[in-house]
Amino acid sequence: MTPVSTGSRCRVCGNSRLKLGLDLGFLPLANSFLSAERARDPTPEQRYPLRVYYCQDCSLIQLIDIVNKEEMFGDYAFLTSASKTALTHFDEYADEMSRRLSLNSTDLVVDIGSNDGTLLKSFQRRGAQIMGIEPARNLAARCSAEGIPTLNEYFGPETVSKIGKHKARLITANNVVSHVNDLNGFMDSVSEALSRDGLFAFEVPWVVDVIRHNNFDIIYHEHLSYFGFKPISELFKKHNLDLIDLQHFSNIHGGTLRGIVANSDSPLKSETVKRTFDRENREANFESLEGFARRVLEIKHKLSQLLLELKRKGKTIIGYGAPAKATILLNYCSIDRSILDFVTDTTPLKQGRFIPGVRVPIVAPEEILRKNPDFALLLAWNYKAEILQKEQKYLESGGKFIVPFPEPQIIS
């Protein structure tokens, strides 16, 4: 199978009036952290085109270069439970949905892309039956061992038959819909697996936040679509599903939309939707994508200059957090080991590995206090509040953070 294929039609509306808005060049896969052995091998890792297109019909902002899924999701190092912010967010999510649907012990909750089972555990604590669907082998095995029934596969028509005759009262998919290439097939299966009175809830980064905050590092090969309200509602309409609620969380992944979808015909006409819609018309059109592309270049230059200037002055710099985003930011801005001594991350699965492309080693966070670097580049910028609070000691001892977005800035 070829590792990358390039489509020519919009994955929501099927039209082919796609216009290139941003080209990040060829970059490695964001989550393919290297083993120490691979990092010693001078053969460069595979790089794939990262180009962002705008659909002139439904306005979906999207990638059309599709990397083979097995290259990306076979083994996965991202854990939802790695941040307090995410744990709280998902527990509140389970609480709200349990109350909204009055879930009880006969109700089934299916989580697509269940990762380490964080959300399902919250539903289990509240008494519902649960089932995870997770394509990453390492994560599915871990959940099954912890008593969270998990099917190790991509969600699709075969999964629906395995869920059983008991249809789901609730299906959730968080940071999953953006990863799906065959969106229409996916929605058919969701609709098939959902009970008449059930709900489908999903979270995606909101394209307006990505553009407004200049968060270009959220663009990687796994994230095929950058959604706004308009293409989302167009998608659901095609599957006899209705978006009945829309919420915005500004502190999750730099800005996330949660949509709640029902089988019934209950068109949503709330103020939130109207505001969302108006803002998108102004802030997520082709011109805004072009403006974004110009600012991305400016950030690249500003950040590289700032870091080079600090190195010239003899300062030590490390990276804080090794999210997938770090691979994109560091490679796109050519920030390698000549600038960063190491990157810290709390996830044991990532420690001892290396950031793809730039090959900066990932170590445990304890190294910060041991090495006391002058500057820490905040790569996990979406947890800024949580991290600044946690790293008071480092800040008090004179350490400084460099926050890349919306513009490179030093915080002391």
Nearer to ligand TMP, 163 or 177 (CB): 177
How many DSSP H helices and E strands does the chain contain? 15, 19
Rounded distance, CA 174 to CA 204, Å? 7
Mention every residue, 6+ apart, whose C-beta is less than 8 A from residue 312.
none
383 binds, options ligand TMP, Zn ion, none, Cβ within 5 to 8 A by partner type: ligand TMP
Nearer to ligand TMP, 94 or 218 (CB): 218
Cβ contact 273:343 at 8 Å: no
322 binds, options ligand TMP, Zn ion, none, Cβ within 5 to 8 A by partner type: ligand TMP
Secondary structure E strands in 139-262: 150-151, 168-174, 194-205, 225-226, 242-249, 256-262
Mention every residue, 6+ apart, whose C-beta is less than 8 A from residue 147.
none
Nearest residue to the partner ligand TMP, using Cβ: 323
Rounded distance, CA 372 to CA 369, Å? 5
Nearer to ligand TMP, 173 or 235 (CB): 173
Instruction: Examine residue 149 and say whether the peptide bond preceding it is cis (omega within 30 degrees of 0).
Output: no
Q: How far is the CB of 340 from ligand TMP (least distance, A)?
A: 14
Nearer to Zn ion, 10 or 63 (CB): 10
Contact residues toward Zn ion (CB under 5 A) are 10, 12-13, 55, 57-58, 60
Tokens 């609480």: give the residue.
Answer: 95
347 binds, options ligand TMP, Zn ion, none, Cβ within 5 to 8 A by partner type: ligand TMP
Rounded distance, CA 255 to CA 33, Å? 25
386 binds, options ligand TMP, Zn ion, none, Cβ within 5 to 8 A by partner type: ligand TMP
Q: What share of the chain is helix, strand, coil (3-state, %, to 5)?
A: 40, 25, 40
Nearer to ligand TMP, 118 or 276 (CB): 118
Task: Decide: residue 36, CB within 10 A, 0-12 exposed, 13-18 middle, 19+ buried.
Answer: exposed
What are the residues facing 232 on neighbouring strands? none
Q: How far is the CB of 198 from ligand TMP (least distance, A)?
A: 28
Residue (of 4, 15, 13) closest to 51 by Cα position:
4
Could you report how far apart the first and last alpha carbons of the chain are, in Å? 50
Contact residues toward ligand TMP (CB under 6 A) are 78, 82-83, 321-324, 344-347, 350, 380, 382-383, 386-387, 390
328 binds, options ligand TMP, Zn ion, none, Cβ within 5 to 8 A by partner type: none
Nearer to ligand TMP, 125 or 390 (CB): 390
Q: How far is the CB of 22 from Zn ion (least distance, A)?
A: 17
390 binds, options ligand TMP, Zn ion, none, Cβ within 5 to 8 A by partner type: ligand TMP
Q: How far is the CB of 272 from Zn ion (least distance, A)?
A: 23
Nearer to Zn ion, 18 or 261 (CB): 18
337 binds, options ligand TMP, Zn ion, none, Cβ within 5 to 8 A by partner type: none
Q: How far is the CB of 160 from ligand TMP (least distance, A)?
A: 29
